Structure 1
Amino acid sequence: MSQANPIPKRLKDARQKAKLTQKELGIRVGMDQGSASGRMNHYEKGRHTPDIQTLKRMAEELDVPINYFFCEDDSAATLACLIDKLPEEERLKLIERLSKKV
C-alpha cells in the first residue's frame, strides 16, 4: 500500500544521506535560523507540505531531482536519481531501449 504523501519520507531519506541536520537544510534553503529545524521537522512528519519553490531549493541542496520527492517506492526514487545524473544523450538511449521493451 502506498503512502498518501511520499514527500516526508523522501525528504528525510535525502537529508540523512546528505548528512545534514534539519536545521542545516532549512537554513541552506533560506529559512530563518530560529524556525528552520521546526519547519523541516513538520515537513518530514507530514504535518505541512513545502511549496514547490521550497521543494526545488531542497532538491538542489540535496542533489536530487524534484521528481524524486514524488516517488512512491524506493526503486522509483533510486531510478529518478540515477537518470538525473545521466547526460542527455544517455537518457535518450535509455528511453529508446526501454520503449522497445514495453
Structure 2
Amino acid sequence: MGKTEPITAFGRRLRQARRRAGIPQDKLGVAIGLDETTASARISRYETGVHEPSVEIARKLATVLNVPTAYLYCDQDELAKFLLAWPYLNKVDKKEIGYIVESRLLPTV
C-alpha cells in the first residue's frame, strides 16, 4: 500500500521538514513526547491532514526539525523557502530586507 500524500499545507511542510532532517515518523513523535506505541501513527495523521496538531505540538515539531513554526503553516512555496533561509542571513541583509518590506507596505504620501 502506498503512502498517502499530504492534503494540507501543514502536512506537506511537516513531511518535507521531517524528510530533510532524516527523522522517521516514530522517532519524531517520541522526540516531541508522544507515546512510543502511537508516535508514528500520530505523525502520519498530521502529515496526511487527517488531524492537525495544536500550536503547542506544532512548536515542538518545529523545534525538533529545526524550522520556524511559521514554516509548517506556510502555504506558499517561495515564502516557505524564505522562512528557512532567514536564520542564515546576516544582520545587514535582514535590515535591507526589512527596508524593502516596509517600503512596499507603507502608502506613499
- TM (norm. structure 2) is 0.80
1:82 to 77, 80, 85: 85
Q: 1:54 to 1:89 in 2, by over 3 A?
A: farther
Identity of aligned residues (%): 27
One-letter code of the match for 1:58? L
Structure 1: 4+ residue segments shifted above 6 A = none
Give the secondary-structure state (helix, strand or coil) at the position aligned to 1:49. coil
- Cα distance, 1:25 vs structure 2: 0.4
Give a deviation string over 1:12-41, Cα, whole Å, max 9, x none.
000000000000100000000000000001
Residues 28 and 61, structure 1, Cα contact 8 Å, conserved in 2: yes
Long gaps (5+) in structure 2: 1-5
Aligned runs of 1:34-73 on 2, under 5 Å?
34-73=37-76
One-letter code of the match for 2:45? H
Give the secondary-structure state (helix, strand or coil) at the position aligned to 2:50. coil
CA RMSD of aligned residues (A): 2.1
Question: Paired residue for 2:28?
Answer: 25
Larger mean CA deviation between 70-79 and 7-16 belongs to: 70-79
Q: 1:54 to 1:82 in 2, by over 3 A?
A: same
User: How many pairs align?
Assistant: 100
Whole-angstrom CA distance in 1 between matches of 2:22 and 2:7? 26
Whole-angstrom CA distance in 1 between matches of 2:100 and 2:31? 39
